Chains A and B, each alone.
Chain A
Amino acid sequence: MLNKIYDWVDERLDITPMWRDIADHEVPEHVNPAHHFSAFVYCFGGLTFFVTVIQILSGMFLTMYYVPDIENAWRSVYYLQNEVAFGVIVRGMHHWGASLVIVMMFLHTLRVFFTGSYKKPRELNWVVGVLIFFVMLGLGFTGYLLPWDMKALFATKVGIEIAAATPLIGEQIRTLLAGDPNILGAQTLTRFFAIHVFFLPGALLGLMAAHFIMIRKQGISGPL
């Protein structure tokens, strides 16, 4: 049955080359921890992607309860954490996952750096990877405000002050992020929500697609 469905689709869309492109590539011995245990350092990138998937899924569930407005944001998080079945687990996964994704990405960056894997012809992939790093830091910064508790508000105040100290365009950046040149409030929360849930994830997915397509195109860098 499944084969028949596959054949039916394949006849019309010729998906076999695409499928073999995604699934059928070699895994060299030097990156396979089953052959050399030290090759576990090559797992960090995949685990970063794994945590990212967890972040996306848990984040989708969080938005089922979260209300991005200063009256209800904190209350909705409190409700989710204390009243909703397994809400504390979902929020916990998103909260700790945010830290974990930074840790795994940091380790992945160090692996790529110290194996010299960013050298020709992989320069562009390194640049895209560092951009992903920046996007992740941006996600961490904007997500920190969303529970609208004390530490969220005051850490964001400091962050916005730092951004506002940018030479020449500081005030414009502040207004863009906070929604107002002086107040950090309702507008800031909705803007950070939009940035956290739509703008940065969109950029992240695009960059990750580029990252993976380049890996498939170039293959994994050879052994040292």
Chain B
Amino acid sequence: MHRGKGMKFVGDSRVPANRKPNIPKDYSEFPGKTEAFWPNFLLKEWLVGAVFLIGFLSLTVAHEPPLEKIADPTDAGYIPLPDWYFLFLYQLLKYDFASGPYNVIGAFVIPGIAFGALLLAPFIDRGPARRPGKRPLATGFMLLGVAATIFLTWESVAYHDWETQRSQGEIVAEVEVNTEAEGYAIYEQQGCINCHGENLEGGAGPALADTGLSAEEIAEIAVNGQGDMPAGLFEGSDEELQQLAEYLTDPAAE
């Protein structure tokens, strides 16, 4: 390439005036069956990518992404579960030697050594040999690390209570409640609403939608109480009681 004195530029820019022709290199001189990245190899790569994309989209269509009910910080009984690729860390913190007073060991020392060694691998394994068999220490520690990760993940999955996991976060369908009904007016006026919620969703008391109880049973509980609910909370007439009980058997009815 021409440089220095006599060099011509495009206008007053630093771009040289004599342009390089856009011709690909000839790879026949290279060793083996070397080929050009563009467009020969890229085309094959696109095909691999297309097959991969089909598999990926099939997974996406077949499995809806999970969504649990809206976060409720007051639910103290919820058993947390991180995404699967953090399970090995999560499991590590459950062992006696890595939890409680030794939390620092499980949370920092062991992962710190493992990931630190991974980060600095080229400076620890400095020999010229590249074949896995020729560097047994590096290969051994890597296999150990992978085996430990798989084992911890497996332990975590095997001992997790998946039944509870499924039910504890389930989205509860909002019930349709006819707030115009006379029964609802009584429900409001008698103070039931304070414990059982505006939409019968429950609160201090249980949810009242779909209890499966008959009108008589509901009337009985309203008067005499049940569990934490004291007797005598309902102070209306018998007629109102009847109306309220019937309303609660089918709160969506007009």
CB distance from A12 to the nearest CB of B (A): 6
Interface string of B180-198 (1 = CB under 8 A from A): 0000000000000000000
CB distance from A110 to the nearest CB of B (A): 7
Q: Is the CB of B131 within 8 A of A116?
A: yes
Q: Is the CB of B73 within 8 A of A12?
A: no
Q: B113 in the interface, Cβ–Cβ < 8 Å?
A: no
Q: Which residues of A contact B139 (CB under 8 A)?
A: 114
Are A30 and B82 also in contact (CB < 8 A) when A14-B19, A50-B52, A100-B56 are?
no
The majority secondary structure among interface residues of chain A is helix
CB distance from A216 to the nearest CB of B (A): 10
Interface size of B in residues (CB-CB distance below 8 Å):
83
CB distance from A141 to the nearest CB of B (A): 7
Q: B144 in the interface, Cβ–Cβ < 8 Å?
A: no
Among listed B31-39, B155-163, B234-242, interface-contacting one: B31-39
CB distance from A20 to the nearest CB of B (A): 7
Q: Which residues of B contact A28 (CB under 8 A)?
A: 30-32, 34
User: What is the CA–CA distance of A141 and B82 in the complex, to the nearest angstrom?
Assistant: 8
Are A29 and B24 also in contact (CB < 8 A) when A93-B60, A123-B122, A152-B71 are?
no
**110-156 of chain A: CB within 8 A of chain B:** 110, 113-120, 122-123, 126-127, 130-131, 133-134, 137, 140-141, 144, 147-155
User: What is the CA–CA distance of A17 and B22 in the complex, to the nearest angstrom?
Assistant: 8
Q: Is the CB of A92 within 8 A of B13?
A: no
CB distance from A45 to the nearest CB of B (A): 11
Q: Is the CB of B78 within 8 A of A154?
A: yes
**63-105 of chain A: CB within 8 A of chain B:** 70, 74-75, 77-78, 81, 88-89, 91-100, 102
Which chain B residue shows the least CB distance to A109?
A: B118
User: What is the CA–CA distance of A122 and B123 in the complex, to the nearest angstrom?
Assistant: 11
Contact of B132 among A70, A116, A159 (CB under 8 A): A116
Count of A-B contacts judged by CB separation below 8 Å: 226
The residue in B59, B68, B79, B108 that gathers the most chain A C-beta atoms within 10 A of its C-beta is B68
CB distance from B46 to the nearest CB of A (A): 10
Are A150 and B130 also in contact (CB < 8 A) when A27-B41, A155-B83, A162-B107 are?
no
Are A92 and B19 also in contact (CB < 8 A) when A116-B129, A119-B122, A162-B93 are?
no
Q: B232 in the interface, Cβ–Cβ < 8 Å?
A: no
Q: B20 in the interface, Cβ–Cβ < 8 Å?
A: yes
Q: Which residues of A contact B24 (CB under 8 A)?
A: 20, 23-24
Interface string of B141-161 (1 = CB under 8 A from A): 010001000000000000000
Contact of B78 among A122, A127, A150, A221 (CB under 8 A): A150
Interface string of A155-191 (1 = CB under 8 A from B): 1011100100111000000000000000011000000
Q: B228 in the interface, Cβ–Cβ < 8 Å?
A: no
User: What is the CA–CA distance of A93 and B24 in the complex, to the nearest angstrom?
Assistant: 37
Q: Which residues of B contact A165 (CB under 8 A)?
A: 103-104, 107-108
Q: Is the CB of A46 within 8 A of B45?
A: yes
Are A127 and B131 also in contact (CB < 8 A) when A19-B22, A29-B34 are?
no
B residues contacting A by CB (< 8 A) are 10, 13, 15-16, 19-22, 24-25, 27, 30-38, 40-41, 44-45, 48-49, 52-53, 56-57, 59-61, 63-73, 75, 78-86, 89-90, 93, 103-104, 107-108, 115, 118-123, 125-126, 128-132, 135, 138-139, 142, 146, 168-169, 171
Q: Which 6 A-B pairs have the closest CB atoms?
A: A116-B130, A23-B38, A29-B32, A154-B80, A123-B122, A95-B65
